[in-house]
Structure 1
Amino acid sequence: MSANTNYAYTSLANIASGPHARWRRILLIALIPMLCAFVYIALEPSAIPSYKGSQYPYQHNVSIPDGDTSMAAVIKALYEPILHPVAAANFTDDEGQVYRLHGEPRFKQKLGKKVLVLDIDSRPLNKPGQLMDDELVWKGGEGIRALSAGMLSHYTYAMIHGYDYKFVRAPDYEDRWGTWVKVPVMKEALKTHDYILFMDSDVMLHFPHLPLEWLLNYWNLTKETLIMMSLDPDEPQNYDSRGNRYLNTGFVIAQQSERTQEMFKVWAECPDEGRYQGCAKWKLEMFHEQAAFGNYVRYDFDRPEDVKVLPCVEANGAPEAENRGGCKGTFVRHYWVNKGLVSKALSDQVMQYFVPRLHQLYHKSGGDHVVNAKGNYRLQGAEMIELTNEEKQALKNDEGKNQKDEGW
């Protein structure tokens, strides 16, 4: 599927600079300590050994293209060796749970720039700790506002997988709540890209090495699918007027088609009540555009593949919300329980990949810096005395005396 040239739209295609162009520098400030180590690992010829049986099989060395020392190149080089294959038959999460494809995968090659990772906001975001401020520091996660951390993770995910990325500062509606702006912007984005991945700023993909193509295969996005969204938790406030649970508009995957354009058009126009009487109440009343979609739009677009409903456990919530209908966010974390956890999640998202690689490097070069004196020597005053064979055996029998477990 390619962009439909009949769509008279150029503005997103022409966004090549602007506020989001500063993000390279902001992300560099946030991650520079780890990147220094990344570069060292990248340039060490045999730093990363095979890591068989692991969720992260480091079977190849990192390599940076000659002459390209940009941050984007470093990030891509860091993750490239551990990217999960697009058409893999299964995926094992960090708890050992195995997720398997059902049938032949539709997507077998990377989609690249056909995918747009999209952030949308109408606020200036230029206060201290916010994304568009001139300076941003980490300070243990306290120096960055949570929602800015979320958008940085979206930007990083796009770089890792070679997708396009745009931040759109949308104009405000005069008569409705700010979250409504996402609907017309998504509609326009689908005129320039085959697929869009939109996330609210408190939403993150938990496994940045897992490509969107694999998730599209797993969730079975067909050629007829217009949109994918997750169920909200099974709670009274999350039901529409017909007794069905709302679909959460904080995480949206949409596929370009004329029917998709029509769906987004009627969705954006819902409060005008030309087609849906009673929809004006959702201009300002919770849950705004989500309630409009849930009460009206999805019942108009009801072909079997039009709207793909994703499980709440996989594409909504976070571990802190597991007691709310099991919505623990296996693949997609939505931190509506505690938005303050987003900056921590950004740190975890990087460190879950960096720490195992640093650990493997430590073991690989252990012969140079690990000295095993225990079991071969004993301490006597200020001296280290080599043990006899009898003393070595006695020491084994007494191992652990006068010690506590690590960290306790």
Structure 2
Amino acid sequence: MGPQGRWRRILFVAMGGMLCAFIYYAYESSTMHRNPKQAQFPHHNNVSLPENDLSMMTVIKALYAPILHPVDASNFTDEDGDVYKLPGEPRFREKLGKKVLIVDIDSRALTGDGQLMNDELKWNHMRPLSAGMLSHYMFAQIHGYDYKFIRAPDYEDRWGTWVKVPMMREALKTHDYIVFMDSDVMFHYPHLPLEWLLNYWEMSKDNLVMMSIDPDEPQNYDEKGNRYLNTGFVIAQASPRTQEMYRDWAECPTDKKYKGCAHWKTDWAHEQAAFGNYVRYDYNRPDDIKVLPCVQANGAPEAEGRGGCKGIFVRHYWVDKSLLSRTLGDQVMQYFLPRLHQLYLQESKNHIIDAKGFKLSGADLIELTEDEKKKLKDKEGANQKDEGF
């Protein structure tokens, strides 16, 4: 493990205690008291919480709430300094809250070592796809959206990924908007709300779904010569027509409406190929399907050479799934570190001792004279490298 890996492990072991300290000092909540009998730092990555303990929710809100991007802001500046401006007046000006469902769908048990449904999940042994689903859950908690993990029944005659289609259809019966992500997909900026993205991507009231186009590569073209839309990231809007589209999509391999679709029961790209070769040509009103740019809603930086799909807002790690765990760590640490630094400076009078008014003589501290203080600046740092290394 390299220096960055060791740095992340140390920070995550300490993060629980530091987050609690942050909340205590920053919010001075009368309901939170430090218990001297409790260990200040956990001995392992897992902490058992009572069912009625909302402290973790408090931690999430304390970390992200002060820096949430306004849903109707006219622009957004990314980490590279690039500015993205809304193309027009925003449709969404208020938070959608529980009208939005962030949904994970899987038919597997996921109870193995390092998997999400295991009773014990440790940072350094976590499977990458567990990190992806945890990021979905965290995104929902940050913004107040609903979140569900649907353990789907299996089709007897189809590849496992097909279960996402009927389960998304069911989810659209209870929520106005759903966001489905494969477990190797993440929102890159946790503080950027879905509503802002819907404004930026100009979701209209008539859109059924929004999907990203796939990279410009031979395997990503359908039988008519058009590129597939990637079904690993789907934003869907509830409507009777959306229900019809999902029904036709789920029933595509029966060959009743779409002859030849049975081919995609088990052959790659399964439900994505069925949608790309058949369904999207049936639901072809101008506003039915909103196609998102690959550069913004597909791929990741290491895939930029494949059609520029670097995942500015939504990242799909189909090149290197091992990056999911690191990305989840970055999603927490890049927000936690500035807040920790802010707390450090705010409390500096309690823990910074300035001994620059003294000089060292052997093992003794001797107070400087006024003349010595004036000469100090010229010699300061003469025997040091940058930051002491």
TM range, normalised to the smaller chain? 0.7 to 0.9
TM-score by length of 2: 0.86
Counterpart-to-counterpart distance in 1, 2:176 and 2:118: 32
CA shift in 2, pair 1:310/1:176, >3 Å? same
Counterpart-to-counterpart distance in 2, 1:75 and 1:106: 28
Matched with 1:100 is: 85
Alignment of 1:64-75 (within 5 A): 69-75=54-60
For residue 40 of structure 1, what is the amino acid of its counterpart?
A
CA shift in 2, pair 1:120/1:64, >3 Å? farther
List gaps (5 residues or longer) in structure 2: 1-10, 33-51
List gaps (5 residues or longer) in structure 1: 1-29, 48-60
For residue 251 of structure 1, what is the amino acid of its counterpart?
F
CA contact (8 A) 1:227 1:307 kept: yes
Matched with 2:15 is: 34
Alignment of 1:99-248 (within 5 A): 99-138=84-123, 142-248=124-230
CA shift in 2, pair 1:210/1:151, >3 Å? same
- After TM superposition, give the deviation of residue 217 of structure 1 in Å: 0.7
Alignment of 1:3-402 (within 5 A): 33-44=14-25, 47=26, 69-138=54-123, 142-374=124-356, 376-388=357-369, 391-392=372-373, 394-402=375-383
Name the SS of the counterpart of 1:351 in structure 2.
helix
CA shift in 2, pair 1:367/1:311, >3 Å? same
Counterpart-to-counterpart distance in 1, 2:179 and 2:98: 12
Counterpart-to-counterpart distance in 2, 1:343 and 1:206: 13
Counterpart-to-counterpart distance in 2, 1:287 and 1:384: 73
- After TM superposition, give the deviation of residue 187 of structure 1 in Å: 0.8
- After TM superposition, give the deviation of residue 401 of structure 1 in Å: 3.0
CA contact (8 A) 2:187 2:315 kept: yes
Name the SS of the counterpart of 2:102 in structure 1.
strand
Name the SS of the counterpart of 1:339 in structure 2.
coil
For residue 202 of structure 2, what is the amino acid of its counterpart?
N
Name the SS of the counterpart of 2:330 in structure 1.
helix
CA contact (8 A) 2:63 2:339 kept: no
Counterpart-to-counterpart distance in 1, 2:31 and 2:158: 48
CA contact (8 A) 1:64 1:73 kept: no
Name the SS of the counterpart of 1:153 in structure 2.
helix
1:404 paired with 2:385, answer yes
For residue 135 of structure 1, what is the amino acid of its counterpart?
E
Counterpart-to-counterpart distance in 1, 2:330 and 2:192: 15
- After TM superposition, give the deviation of residue 77 of structure 1 in Å: 3.8
For residue 282 of structure 1, what is the amino acid of its counterpart?
W
CA contact (8 A) 1:62 1:78 kept: no
- After TM superposition, give the deviation of residue 145 of structure 1 in Å: 0.9
- After TM superposition, give the deviation of residue 132 of structure 1 in Å: 1.0
Counterpart-to-counterpart distance in 2, 1:290 and 1:128: 30
